[in-house]
Structure 1
Amino acid sequence: MARPRTPLLSRERIVGAALHLVDTEGLEALSTRRLATELSVSGPSLYNHFATKDDLLDAVVDSVMGEVDLGMFEPGARADWCTALRDWARSYRAALAAHPHVVPVLAQGPGRRPNALRLADAVYGCLVAAGWPRGQATRIGALMRYFITGSALGSFAAGFPEDAQLYAADYPHLGEAHRLAEHRDAVDEGAFETGLQALLDGLELRFARLQRPAQG
């Protein structure tokens, strides 16, 4: 039997091509017609794997969630809840930084996406197992997601034009703002790490207060 000229379609191949398209051109570039062209197939053949464009987009977004390391939450992991949250937050942000165009969709919540739900389950389970009350564990999970997705929505440093004259007359405290863009990675990464440490320091203090009555 002759070998087919193009590789057989699979969900994995479709999702990979769709994610590449989103990464390079943005969410607005994703359409079944464009994706079929990229894959050298007919448009209707995609519907054998995804009933709608929304189903495809969910799979694309969830594939990014599959890149987030959850190993620190496994039963055999030795990390305490605070260390686990720190390591997970860094991995989560790295995944979003690699695929920034999907962040607006991710910010809407996990929906029915399996990897996103596993992520939420792992974080919540870790906090409850450590001794956090269920209500507070829910709020901490939400807080961490707000912080991480917010940090990935855009670059603070890149938002300042590289024009020293713009700030000179009216914004005396922004005299060096025109230099921020050239240090974008250091500024944005440093801001994330500063915020993450501040959040975890505050949560550790709160957790310590929760434990005191039980030890009294």
Structure 2
Amino acid sequence: MPRPSRPLLSRKSIVATSLELIDRDGLATFSMPGLASAMSVRAASLYHHFRDKAEILSEVARYMVSQTAIPARPSRDEWQEWFVSLAANLRDVLLEHPHAAPLMLQFPPRDILVAVTENSAAVLVEYTDFPSYVHILILDTLEKVTLGAALSEVMKAPEKRDLIYPHVDHVEHPILTRGLASNPWTVDEIFRESVRALLAGVATRFEQPRVGSP
């Protein structure tokens, strides 16, 4: 029998199938034998491409982060909105894969795609006057806030993900009830506003006068 014109397996196809299985069945059930069965190969064949299950999961996490849309370079006055969009885009990717999103706890973006963080740092260098240590403060905090927001949402039952405080009782929790009644934002909008508030606070605390400013 002649060999197939293309290899039956590749790192790309293994990662894609792994994410499909995790999306469908959950992270807890993912296994090398199950992946091999889904790809109609022997489990041993997978080890020609990946050292072990952990390396596959790391690549799945890397793939998800790499799907985050990078906004176009901003003007100097719009750098904060650039980071709002970037954080929202990463959150959206994780919400699209709720079963796989917990991989970010084991393989956070700062570990698996440092180049993305370096790119974000370059935006801060180009468009702000912050000292370098403030860049680290912003990048560290934004990643944690974004991952925390996404993971807290994927842990909710799907029917409750659009609810900010799903267990508020209007009799027992009158203050929260009034706040929710007057709230103008969706869950998505609250996330964006929280990032704006964070960045505005950093700017107020650390931004230095531009050279030549009175």
The residue that corresponds to 1:146 in the other structure is 144
Matches of 1:171 and 1:61, distance apart in 2: 39
1:121 and 2:118 are equivalent in the alignment:
yes
Q: CA deviation at 1:173?
A: 4.2
2:166 pairs with one of 150, 160, 166:
160
1:28-67 residue pairs with structure 2 within 5 A?
28-67=28-67
Alpha-carbon distance change, 48 to 153 in structure 1, aligned in 2, over 3 angstroms: same
Flag the 1:206–1:112 CA change in 2: closer, same or farther, 3 A: closer
Structure 2 CA distance for aligned equivalents of residues 175 and 86 of structure 1: 28
Separation in 2, partners of 1:50, 1:111? 21
What is residue 15 of structure 1 aligned with on the other side?
15
TM-score of the two chains, using structure 2 as the length reference: 0.78
Describe the shift of the 1:205–1:168 C-alpha distance in structure 2 as closer, same or farther (beyond 3 A): closer
Q: Can you list the C-alpha shifts for 1:137-184, whole angstroms capped at 9, x where unaligned?
A: 0110011111111110133627625xxxx836544445599x9xxxxx
| Amino acid in the other structure paired with 1:15 | V
Worse-superposed segment, 77-86 or 144-153? 77-86
**CA pair 47-150 structure 1, distance change in 2 beyond 3 A:** same
Aligned residues of 1:70 and 1:122 also touching (Cα < 8 A) = no
The separation in 2 between residues aligned to 1:82 and 1:40, in whole angstroms, is 48
Query: In the aligned structure 2, how far is the partner of 1:204 from the partner of 1:174?
Result: 30
Q: Distance in 2 between matches of 1:54 and 1:188?
A: 33
Partner SS for 1:102: coil
8 Å CA contact 1:82–1:204 kept in 2: the answer is: no
CA distance in structure 1 between the aligned counterparts of 2:146 and 2:201, rounded to whole angstroms: 16
Change (3 A) 1:158 1:137: closer
> Residues of 2 paired with 1:9 and 1:173: CA distance?
57
TM-score by length of 1: 0.77
Q: 1:128 to 1:18 in 2, by over 3 A?
A: same
Unaligned runs of 5+ in 1: 180-185
Query: Which structure's residues are more often helix, by fraction?
Result: 1
Structure 1 position 202 matched with structure 2 position 201: yes
- Residue 209 of structure 2 aligns to a residue in which SS? helix
Whole-Å separation in 1 of the counterparts to 2:75 and 2:18: 36
User: SS where residue 27 of structure 1 aligns?
Assistant: coil
* C-alpha spacing 1:194/1:112, structure 2 compared with 1 (3 Å): closer
Residue 29 of structure 1, CA deviation? 1.9
Query: Distance between the aligned counterparts of 1:23 and 1:193, measured in 2?
Result: 26
Equivalent pairs, count: 198
- The answer to whether the aligner puts 1:134 opposite 2:132 as a matched pair is yes
User: Which amino acid in structure 1 is aligned with residue 95 of structure 2?
Assistant: A
RMSD of aligned C-alpha atoms?
3.1
In structure 1, the residue matched to 2:99 is 101
